[in-house]
Each structure stands twice: as structure tokens, then as C-alpha cells.
Structure 1
Amino acid sequence: MNSTGLLEVTAVRRVTPRTVRVTFTGQGLDALEAWPDQQLKLLFPPPGRPVRLPAAEDDVMRWYQAYLEIPEDERPVMRSYTVRARRPEQAEIDVDFVLHGDEAGPATSWAAAAAPGDVLGRYGPDALYRRPLPSGDVVLLAGDETAIPAVWSLLSEVDNAVVFLEVPDEAEEQPMPGDVRWLHRDGAPHGTKLLEAVREAKVDGSAAAWLAGEAGTVRALRRHLVGERGIDKGAIEFTGYWRRKLTQDDAPTPEDLAEAAEKLGGG
């Protein structure tokens, strides 16, 4: 399946006060292979311009080089998102966008005004980025509101999960297929409630974990599970979906680079 193409909005609905679910259709979505925590790149056009796609390439690095070769004033902004649901018989996917209020970037601003007929570009989902689901006597799933779509998909594959999701308040809870402990920030610093809950959870070295959300919080969770709980690094899958005060356009931090090298090394 060609991993590059256009997506057209067919429906938009607000599923919580801060979450917008956008339904897309597009060529190739009818043949989309399914797996949990399925990522794709969305390409948001500059204001007032149509989406300009890079030349179609099967290799992701060549595709990314073609993306960088688009003139800067025409180059779309690229952001990573999780497929929330897929309906291949209708060539449709759903993607959830968390609205960040005064800190809105290009993706949030687009989602807040999205309407049927709007068009984005996409790269993926690419099986190259498929990560194995960790296994253990218990699987700890922990994240913030940006991790909800991935956790929703993971719960269809895991029947021994302990789940913690931190959201701004009660209104941001969503129906989930498993037993989820919802943690409400209610004005507390981001990640505080999640770290407290995981530290108090009854998990030990025989557990595995999947962690996602703000990068600093994910790092703190992972340090706790490895250093204080004795969980093997190889039993923890982790992703920093976003970075406080930084975007995907900003240079990676030393911590980002170290984690990327560790993932590539398999440890």
C-alpha cells in the first residue's frame, strides 16, 4: 500500500470539551492493516495553501528527504497521531485531536476549525514503526489524554492490564473497553497525579509496561519502574508523544537522542 496520500474530512465531532474526533476518508484506507497503537504522520498545509505532498517513496528516509526539499513556505507542518478507529469497508479512519487552548499549535488550531471537505496529507501508517506489545504477568498501561486512542486499541489485545490515565478533569473521561483508573489533574501540575498513582500501584518485577504522553513524565515513570520496581528495561515500551514547551519541529534534546538510540538498540 502506498503510504503517502491525501485525507479528506467527512465528519467532525467533539467527544469531550477538549477532544475533537475527525473522520477521514482517502485512497488506500480500505487496505489499511490493523495493529494496536497505530501511528501516522499528518501533513497540515500552510494557511491559504493546498497540501503539497513529497514525492512518493517506499523508503521512509527518502520520503522524509523529499519532504525537506519542499520549499519552506510551501512545506506542510508534520505531526504524529494515533489511529483511533478504522473502518476499511468505508475507507475511513478516526483521529482524535486534543485541544490545548492558549498553547495551540498548528495541528490544534486546524482541528478546532476542521470541517467536512478539509484536506490533509498523510504518511503511514507504516509497519516499520510497529512496536511489539510488552508481555508480563501484569501489563501496566499509563499515559495522559494524548495516550487515550492508543490505550483504547491496546486494551483490545491485553486482558491483564492495569490502566492509569491522567486527564484535566472528569469531563475528559471517555468510554473505554477495560477497567481504567482515571486521574483528574484539576489544576495540579501535568504528570503529578499519574506518577503518584503508578508509585502506589501493586506491580512488581514480573510486570511489563507501556507508557506514553508528555516526554518528561514518561521518563520519570520509566525511571521509577526500572530503578525502584526492578522491571527489566526490555519489558517497557515507552513513547514521549509531546514535549513541554517544545514541538516536533524543535531539535531533539540529549534525553530524546539517548532514548532513540536505546530503542534502536533494542534495550
Structure 2
Amino acid sequence: MTALPVAHLHVTDVRRITPRMARITFTGDGLDALPTWPDQQLKLLFPRPGQRAPRLPEAPGGDGMRWYQAFLALPEDERPVMRSYTVRAHDPQRGRITVDFVLHDHHGSANEAGPATRWAATARVGDTLARYGPAAEYARPLPLDDPGLILLAGDETALPAIGSLAEALPATARAVAWIEVADGAEEQPLSTRADLAVHWVHRDRAPGGADGALLAAVRAARLPEEPAFAWLAGEAGAVRGLRRHLIAERGLDARRIDFTGYWRRRLSQDDAPTEEDLAEARERAAAARVQDKS
């Protein structure tokens, strides 16, 4: 029976790479054999106040559903806070992974100073988290067999994924990225072998305010050609707006867009899904079914 992808993670390094982003490195069981791919997601489990480490449920065998049911059965005040994050880098030889944490509030959302942000802002070497995942069946690689232009767009929460995607692009790839951040101090160098043009969108300079800055920048852009594929992530409403723009105004086939809402304005991951969230989930499921048939 397959072992569950659950283990504790121990902090080995903490660096502030920009004023609002911390890069934290972890070691832990199983990281030497971790399956890896660009834009790799996993669940991080954060301890509750007063806990030195998150309490993990015990579930026999490798049944993920039974483990999750046991997780939900933990008392609420003891149950770890679970959040999704991107693996920014993986070092299998040293058995380590690196995760980038956005520390600044999402300009007015209920995520301001949430449990993950509070933990990352004070993280120290020796602190302990836990992970669930990742699972290779959720990998969604870019279609690099198509020589056309790849469009990447997202806010700072998508920046770790965009960075990992950029590093994985081959020298023959052509890509363009729009990345929304608070201001110029949040820009990061992106390493890549590809022909990649990066456009930074600063919220502090956005005409008419921060809301819609990324969509406005992409809408105003003159692309050298129709994208062969688009990868979109960040605030859910902005991602939906970008996808609608690319389909309705750029004529891009919906099957050539990979989109994910990482967070929701005025709502946290613990809040119930909205009708728009459910519609997005249905659209993603439909797109996945079409891709599986192609």
C-alpha cells in the first residue's frame, strides 16, 4: 500500500528576498524522493497557537481519504491550519525544499495577517510545519511541444510558480509575463534559458487604484502574436477577468488556458465557496475533461 505523503517539515533557513516576501527552506522525511515538476503545489499544515508543531492525525495505510477524515475529526482548536503553497525549489541531494511566502496583506482582503502569513513573518530556524503532498497526478505541465508564444500572468502569490515555470522553459521557448506586485521593491530576477519578456505591474502606480491593475496591463498590451498557451494565477476575480479577456477579446481557445484562483478578495480559504468559485471549478473540470480527450 502506498505511503501517505504526510511528514513534518523543519525550517533550516529564512531569508527576506523582498520587503514583502520570505523564502523559507525546509528539511524533512521523504524530501529526497519527492516527485517534482514546475508549478508544484502542496498543502502546508501550520500549528495552532501554543503548539510547537502541528498535530497530525493517525490513519492506517495509505488511504488519503481516511487520513483527511481523521484530520477533520481533530478538535478545531487543535486541528492544523491547511494552506496551499508552491514549491519554489527542490534539492533532492540535501533533502530540502524552498517555499516563498507573501507577507504583505492582499490589499484589503480578509487574508490580511492570516495564520500562514503570521507564521512566516516570525519563522525561525528549527520551527516545524507539516506537509500533505504533493501528488504527481495533479501536475499540469506547459505544452512545450508547441513553438508558439506562452503567456504567463499573475500577482505576487503566483510569482513562485512563475519563477519555477520560467526556470523550466527550454532555450527554444518564447514567453511573456505580466506580474503584479505592490511596488518596484517587490520585483525579483527570474532565471530562464528561454526568450522571456517580463512586465512588472506596480499597484502603487496603477491608474484608478490597485483593483484591476493586472487585467488593465494585459488588455493594453500589444502581443507580437496570438499566444499558443496562457497560464494565469492569483486573486480569483482577477484570474477570471484575465481568462474572459483572452477568450472574448483575444480569441484564445479556452482549452489553451490553465487558470487558478489562489486567493479571494475579502474571503479566506476557510470561507465557503462563492457561486463564482463554483463556476470556476466547473470550468476547470470541463477544461480538464477536454484535454484528457485530446
- Shorter-chain TM band: over 0.9
Structure 1: distance between partners of 2:246 and 2:91:
36
Change (3 A) 1:38 1:110: same
- CA drift of 1:232 comes to 0.8
Which residue does the alignment assign to 2:138?
129
Letter in 1 for 2:104: H
Cα RMSD over matched residues?
A: 1.8
The amino acid of 2:198's aligned partner reads V
- Structure 1 SS opposite 2:36: coil
Match of 2:201 among 176, 180, 183: 183
Matches of 1:187 and 1:54, distance apart in 2: 47
1:51 to 47, 51, 54: 54
Whole-angstrom CA distance in 2 between matches of 1:230 and 1:205: 8
Other-structure match for 2:213: 193
Q: In the alignment, residue 52 of structure 1 is paired with which amino acid?
A: R
Which secondary structure does the structure 1 equivalent of 2:239 belong to?
A: helix
Q: Determine the C-alpha separation between the residues in 2 that align with 1:85 and 1:192.
A: 30
Q: List per-residue Cα deviations over 1:188-230 (Å, max 9, x = no partner).
A: 4445331122112334555310000000000000000011111
Name the residue aligned to 1:74: 78
Specify the alignment match of 1:138 in structure 2: 149
* 1: CA distance, partners of 2:62 / 2:219: 43
Within 2, Cα distance between the matches of 1:25 and 1:179? Answer: 34
Amino acid at match of 1:42: L
TM-score (norm 1): 0.94
The answer for unaligned runs of 5 or more in structure 1 is none
Secondary structure of the corresponding residue to residue 261 of structure 1: helix
Q: Deviations over 1:168-191 (max 9, x none)?
A: 000000110243111111164445
Distance 2:46 2:15 in 1: 19
Amino acid at match of 2:27: T
User: Which residue does 2:268 correspond to in 1?
Assistant: 247
**Farther-moved stretch of structure 1 (208-217 vs 157-166):** 157-166
Aligned to 1:9: 11
Task: Decide which moves more: 158-167 or 182-191.
Answer: 182-191
Partner of 1:174: 188
**d(CA) in 2 for partners of 1:21, 1:156:** 17
CA distance in 2, matches of 1:176, 1:7: 26
| 2:126 equivalent in structure 1 | 117
CA contact (8 A) 1:4 1:123 kept: yes
Q: Kindly, what percent of the aligned residue pairs are identical?
A: 62
Deviation at 1:47, TM superposition (A): 0.4
Alignment check: 8 A CA contact 1:134 1:209 kept? no
After superposition, give the CA deviation of every residue in 1:208-262 in whole Å (9 maximum; x if it has no partner): 1000000000000000001111111110000001111111111011111122122
2:252 alignment counterpart: 231
Cα distance in 1 between the residues matched to 2:205 and 2:227:
34
1:107 aligns with 2:116: yes
Q: CA deviation at 1:144?
A: 0.5
Among candidates 34, 37, 58, match of residue 35 of structure 1: 37
Q: CA deviation at 1:165?
A: 0.5
Distance change in 2, residues 1:194/1:145 (3 Å): same
Counterparts of 2:175 and 2:68, CA distance in 1:
36
Instruction: Provide the rounded CA distance (Å) in 2 between the counterparts of 1:65 and 1:122.
Output: 16
Structure 1 residues 38-88: Cα deviation after superposition (integer angstroms, max 9, x where no partner)? 001010111002311133564443332221111111100000000011111
Contact 2:4 2:64 in 1 (8 A): no
The letter for the 2-side match of 1:71 is P
Relative to 1, partners in 2 of residues 1:126 and 1:191: Cα closer, same or farther, differing over 3 Å?
farther
Aligned residues: 267
Distance in 1 between residues matched to 2:44 and 2:265, nearest whole Å: 20
For normalisation by structure 2, the TM-score amounts to 0.85
**Does the CA-based 8 Å contact 1:2-1:28 persist in structure 2?**
no
Unaligned stretches of 5+ residues in structure 2: none
Amino acid at match of 1:243: R
